[in-house]
Each structure stands twice: as structure tokens, then as C-alpha cells.
């Protein structure tokens, strides 16, 4: 089973979620949110959302509580860096 | 057979421009450089006078010229550019891009030496140096072949989505006038259908072409396993490996319509009884035929093998053409520094594993416009014959016909 079935003769893609594959597979560490520290979770209202704003892959939801789509989170750790409450910890993938 | 064609006295650059015009090119982008400049001048005149319905895009460099052609080719335009020497070298990155993106751009390379030191005259170092960019390379022996090859180049390129470089010797052909049969537009239209791009840019079905492509294949959003970088490189090699059949078929159909057949990858002259074969590429093939006449008069059975197609390298055809040879004398207007002339290496490579056990001699000639006389070629063959008693099939390095 080779790649000929795609019938491309040059590099080709379409703008679609998952077009580059499940990029979460690239991750070597993943973010863990502590609800005791997260501003959104603690106040139970739309607030802060800096992780949502800064995530370069748009995998953080603007919801209460915040959720992260681990199928596409590449584990860059920007959310953990930006979090003003230090609520996000990056944990090594096993 | 051809209708309403007429024979005109054209120099090589004019023949190239007529070939592009008859091919109904839609976008032309080129930057002038000696000896290619008259090609660009002539084409811009055609466009300005309304004789050719094309966009002539003035650019600030050769790199941009080919960038324009690749972009225009991608959105469905038939594109043409031309360059020489330093200009072709400056296109190097975009040569790779055109081939990798599988865009059927046609480029006329007017072969000129490359500096340092500055030199505007002919050799083939420029196009030979671009050998590994994935382009098909066709070399013309005379001005008729320049015109004919450019028309055929579009059929070939657009059939298999590989760009084609038509190479011809600077000044020797580019600025030398000779009779050229110019086919009618009607006949060329019958031979060359409109270009159908393999890339479709449609806002309702958006695509991203030639994106960042990783080492490994990837499954796309529709679950289809798509090529990684290496699979795309394989397909380009496969296209060139299989292109011989297309080149010959196109050349044969051209012959049926216009009366000049190109159903070959090589020009063979007097090989039937020859045990000594001179090999050359471009206009030097014509000079080699005069040298063969001189040597035949002296009683040697000499034939000439002219390389018409340099990429794909026609290995099987070369072996078959050389199978009766006892001595092969290869003249190169290029040098792969530290080794030998490029065509010599490739002929040796083609013969590996064949039954041909001929003596091979390589001469570097005509660099930077040094005149190559038929008499000198004949002398080099005679010198090669004298060295046979030494028993060595090949030499470590080539000999040069120069004053050192």
C-alpha cells in the first residue's frame, strides 16, 4: 500500500483540519491544567483566556472549563509559559 | 505534410523566438544576457506589434523570470523563458522549483561560457551544470532544430509535466543565419493542443501546492496517504526515466506532420560500418561529421554519434549505437572539474555491463568560444588511434585541445 493512490505529482494539500495528519503525534510533552489555579475555573466565568489567545495551533477552547484538543496539541508549552496563574504544567510523554 | 510553410533565413535566436511564437506561448518572462538577448527582443516585438497574444513580463533578474514562469504555468499559462551562462546559473534555484512542482516551462538556453574570467562566447558549461535539476535537456545542431525542438518541447513537457530546456550554441548558432523552414501556424496548432495544467487553482476548491512536505508520507484530512518528500522525488525520476517514449513519439508525430522526423534521442551518422565513433553534442556534431569525412578519405571507418537528448540520458540507445565500435572519441565542450567531460562519464556509465569493450578517449574542446576545427577533431581521432598500442581502455583524465 503505497502513496500513489493520492494521485498527486507535486506537493498538494487542502485547507482542512487534520490535513497535515494528527499533529499531536509530534508532542514530547503535554499540558496539564490545575483547576485550583486556573483563573477561568476558579472564577467560573469567562476571564483571562490567555492560553486560548496565545496557542499557535488553536487547540485551546474558550470555554469553562478550558479544554485542550490533544489530537493536535504539539506540546510547544506556550500556554504554560503565558499562564499568569502558573496553572499549566508541561509533563513528559512516556 | 506541411502546408503554407516557408523557408526563411534566420539566426538561431530568431528561430527560437519563432518557435515560441508558433507554440502560442501566453506568458514570457526573460532577462537579457549575451548571447540570448535577441530572443527576448524579438518576442517583445511580437507582443508589442500584436502578432503574439502573450504577456511579456519585464523582470529585474533571471531568478524572477523563472519565478514568473513557474507561477504563470501553475495557473494554466504556457510559459517561455530564455537565458545563458550567468543568467542560467542565477535561475538555478527556480530550475529545481519548476521541475519539483512539475511545471512544463520551456527554456531556451543559449550556451555560453561562465566566469571567472568573463567570457561571452560559447561552450556548454552553463546547461551541463544544470544537469541535475530535473529538466529534460535537448541540444540542437542547427537553427532548424532549435525551432522544431521548441515546438516539440511543449508537447513533451505538457504530456509528462516535466520542464524542458532546449540548448543551442551561442554565436555558433544564435548569431549565425541559415535557412529555416518555418511551419504554418495552422499546422503547429494541429500538432500542439492547448496546455492543460495538473494544478487547479479554484477559490471554490482551494488547494495548497508545494507546501512544506516532510520526510515521511502523511495521511490527509480525507484519510488518504499522501507522498512524503522522497516519494515526490521518486515520481520526478520516474517521469524522466519514462520520458524517452514520449520524446520519440512526439518527434515521430512532428515528422509525420512537418516532414522532419525526430523519432530518436541520438543523431547517428555512418555508424553502420564504423569501428571508430566520434561523439559530440550540439553544433559540434556538424563539425564532427566534417571530421569524419576527412578521416574516411584517409581510409578509416568513422561514424558520428550526436547526443540530441542529454536528459533523460539515453543509455540503451547509446549502447546500441556504439555496439560495433572499437574506438570511441568523445568531445566535450564542458568539464566536470577533477574528473572529465560530462558526456564522457555518462557514456562510460551507459556502457558498463554491456558487451562493448571499446577504447574511450575524451577531449575537452571549444571552451570560452575557442574555435573547434574539423581538422583538429580529426587529428584528435588520429592521436587516439596511435595510443591504442598502449592497451589502456580508458585514461584517468581527459586531454585538452588547447595551448598548454
**Burial class, B359, CB count within 10 angstroms (exposed 0-12 / middle 13-18 / buried 19+):** buried
Query: Using a CB-CB distance cutoff of 8 angstroms, which residues of chain B are in contact with residue A24?
Result: none
pLDDT at site B200: 86
pLDDT at site B115: 97
Domains of chain B, residue spans = 6-196+242-258, 267-400
Rg, Å, chain B Cα set: 21
Query: Model confidence over A24-41: pLDDT tens digits?
Result: 999 999 999 999 999 999
CATH class given for the domain over B267-400: alpha beta
Model ipTM value: 0.89
- Rounded to 5 degrees, φ, ψ at B82 are -150, 150
Interface of B with A (CB under 8 A): 100-102, 161, 198-199, 205-211, 213, 217-222, 224-228, 231-232, 235, 239
Scanning every residue of chain B, which has its alpha carbon at the shortest distance from the alpha carbon of A12? Answer: B209
| Nearest partner of B367 among B125, B172, B139, judged by Cα | B125
Query: Using a CB-CB distance cutoff of 8 angstroms, which residues of chain B are in contact with residue A16?
Result: 220-222
pLDDT at site B387: 86
Beta bridge partners of B94: none
pLDDT at site B5: 65
| Nearest partner of B186 among B22, B6, B15, judged by Cα | B22
| Nearest partner of B144 among B172, B106, B173, judged by Cα | B173
Query: Using a CB-CB distance cutoff of 8 angstroms, which residues of chain A are in contact with residue B227?
Result: 3, 6, 8, 11
Residue with cell 576545427: B373
pLDDT at site A94: 87
Alpha-carbon distance B393 to B324, whole Å? 15
Query: Model confidence over B183-215: pLDDT tens digits?
Result: 999 999 999 999 999 998 899 999 999 999 989
pLDDT at site B341: 98
Distance from CA of A33 to the nearest CA of B (A): 29
pLDDT at site B389: 78
Was domain A31-94 assigned CATH 3.10.450.50?
Answer: no
Residues of chain A with pLDDT under 50: none
Please tell me whether residue B23 adopts helix, strand or coil conformation.
coil
Query: Using a CB-CB distance cutoff of 8 angstroms, which residues of chain A are in contact with residue B205?
Result: 14
Alpha-carbon distance B101 to B232, whole Å? 9
Alpha-carbon distance B13 to B82, whole Å? 10
**Burial class, B250, CB count within 10 angstroms (exposed 0-12 / middle 13-18 / buried 19+):** buried
Domains of chain A, residue spans = 31-94
The fold of the B6-196+242-258 domain, in CATH, is Rossmann fold (3.40.50)
Average pLDDT taken over every residue of chain B: 96
Residues of chain B with pLDDT under 50: none
pLDDT at site B391: 77
Alpha-carbon distance B80 to B66, whole Å? 9
pLDDT at site A1: 64
With a CB cutoff of 8 Å and minimum separation 6, the contacts of B399 are B361, B362, B363, B364, B380, B383
Amino acid at each position: 500500500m503505497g502513496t500513489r493512490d493520492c494521485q498527486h505529482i507535486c506537493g498538494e494539500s487542502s485547507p482542512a483540519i487534520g490535513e497535515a495528519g494528527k499533529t499531536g503525534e509530534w508532542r514530547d510533552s503535554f499540558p496539564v491544567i490545575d483547576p485550583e489555579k486556573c483563573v477561568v475555573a476558579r472564577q467560573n466565568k469567562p476571564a483571562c483566556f490567555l492560553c486560548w489567545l496565545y496557542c499557535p495551533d488553536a487547540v485551546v477552547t474558550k470555554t469553562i472549563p478550558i479544554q485542550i484538543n490533544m489530537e493536535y496539541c504539539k506540546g510547544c508549552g506556550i500556554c504554560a509559559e503565558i499562564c499568569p496563574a502558573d496553572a499549566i504544567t508541561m509533563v513528559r510523554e512516556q | 505534410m506541411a502546408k503554407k510553410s516557408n523557408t526563411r533565413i534566420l539566426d538561431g535566436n530568431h528561430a527560437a523566438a519563432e518557435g515560441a511564437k508558433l507554440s502560442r506561448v501566453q506568458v514570457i518572462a526573460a532577462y537579457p544576457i549575451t548571447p540570448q538577448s535577441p530572443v527576448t527582443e524579438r518576442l517583445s516585438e511580437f507582443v508589442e506589434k500584436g502578432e503574439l497574444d502573450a504577456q511579456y513580463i519585464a523582470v529585474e533578474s533571471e531568478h524572477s523570470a523563472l519565478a514568473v514562469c513557474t507561477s504563470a504555468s501553475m495557473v494554466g499559462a504556457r510559459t517561455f523563458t530564455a537565458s545563458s551562462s550567468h543568467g542560467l546559473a542565477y535561475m538555478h534555484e527556480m530550475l529545481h522549483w519548476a521541475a519539483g512542482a512539475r511545471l512544463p516551462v520551456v527554456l531556451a538556453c543559449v550556451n555560453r561560457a561562465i566566469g571567472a574570467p568573463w567570457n561571452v562566447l560559447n561552450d556548454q558549461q552553463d546547461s551541463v551544470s544544470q544537469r541535475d535539476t530535473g529538466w529534460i535537456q535537448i541540444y540542437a545542431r542547427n537553427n532548424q532544430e532549435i525551432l522544431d525542438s521548441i515546438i516539440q518541447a511543449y508537447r513533451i513537457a505538457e504530456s509528462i509535466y516535466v520542464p524542458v530546456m532546449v540548448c543551442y550554441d551561442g554565436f555558433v548558432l544564435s548569431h549565425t543565419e541559415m535557412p529555416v523552414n518555418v511551419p504554418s501556424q495552422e499546422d503547429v496548432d494541429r500538432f500542439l493542443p492547448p496546455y492543460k495544467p495538473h494544478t487547479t487553482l479554484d477559490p471554490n476548491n482551494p488547494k495548497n501546492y508545494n507546501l512544506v512536505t516532510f520526510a515521511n508520507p502523511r495521511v490527509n484530512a480525507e484519510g488518504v496517504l499522501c507522498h512524503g518528500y522522497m516519494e515526490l522525488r521518486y515520481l520526478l525520476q520516474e517521469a524522466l526515466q519514462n520520458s524517452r517514449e514520449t520524446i520519440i513519439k512526439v518527434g515521430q508525430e512532428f515528422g509525420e506532420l512537418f516532414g522532419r522526423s525526430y523519432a530518436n534521442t541520438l543523431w547517428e551518422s555512418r555508424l553502420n560500418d564504423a569501428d571508430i565513433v566520434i561523439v559530440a553534442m550540439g553544433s559540434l556534431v556538424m563539425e564532427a561529421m566534417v571530421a569524419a569525412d576527412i578521416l574516411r578519405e584517409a581510409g578509416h571507418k568513422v561514424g558520428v554519434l550526436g547526443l540530441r537528448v542529454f536528459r533523460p540520458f539515453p543509455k540503451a540507445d547509446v549502447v546500441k549505437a556504439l555496439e560495433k565500435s572499437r574506438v570511441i572519441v568523445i568531445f566535450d565542450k564542458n568539464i566536470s572539474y577533477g574528473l572529465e567531460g560530462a558526456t564522457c562519464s555518462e557514456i562510460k556509465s551507459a556502457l558498463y555491463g554491456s558487451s562493448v569493450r571499446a577504447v574511450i578517449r575524451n577531449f575537452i574542446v571549444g571552451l570560452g568560444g575557442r574555435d573547434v576545427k574539423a581538422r583538429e577533431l580529426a587529428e584528435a581521432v588520429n592521436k587516439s588511434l596511435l595510443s591504442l598500442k598502449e592497451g589502456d581502455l580508458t585514461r584517468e583524465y581527459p586531454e585538452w585541445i588547447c595551448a598548454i
